[in-house]
Amino acid sequence: MLLYLDLNCFNRPFDNQSQSRIAEETAAVLEVLQRIVDGTDRLAWSEILAYENSRSPLADRRQEIGTWADRSALVVPVDDTVTARARELNARGLHPLDAAHVASAERAGCEVFLTCDDRLLRRANRTPTSLRLLTPVQYLQGDEHDQDA
């Protein structure tokens, strides 16, 4: 299955793991990343992910996350289609950067968009999109990932 992971998924393993939700999401993200390494799922990367990651003040984290671009099946450029769709999604209530991520995932033809951001999930699920927006935990609990291995 072709997946798009929001940057907060890539950052989750670096977060303080003392809260059970954070630890559970970290375990799920690591399992999804392993599925990508194993070839069970495929990763779509975007210029938006690269841009957002480049803004991290933590060089070691920025570098580690950036290596996932090399493991991706494709990289989505910011083109007129992504820009126009991001503007539409922003007008429907998504934060500009979130809108750009969702637009990039749609442009890539992803089936699933993974995020740990509850606000993004609520807002995006009220907006027509071709994507299934899920947390990494929800994705692994479902059976949809077994259909397109």
Rg (CA), the chain: 14
Tokens read off for 74? 């494709």
Tokens read off for 73? 């099946």
pLDDT digits (tens, 9 = 90+) for 76-108: 999 999 999 999 999 999 999 999 999 999 999
pLDDT digits (tens, 9 = 90+) for 120-133: 998 988 888 889 99
According to DSSP, the residues that pair with 133 across neighbouring strands are: 113
Query: In what side-by-side order are the strands of the sheet with 42-46?
Result: 74-76, 42-46, 2-5, 112-114, 132-134
With CA atoms as reference, report the closest residue to 25 among 34, 12, 37, 15: 12
> Does domain 2-13+20-146 bear CATH number 3.40.50.1010?
yes
- Sequence ranges of the domains in the chain: 2-13+20-146
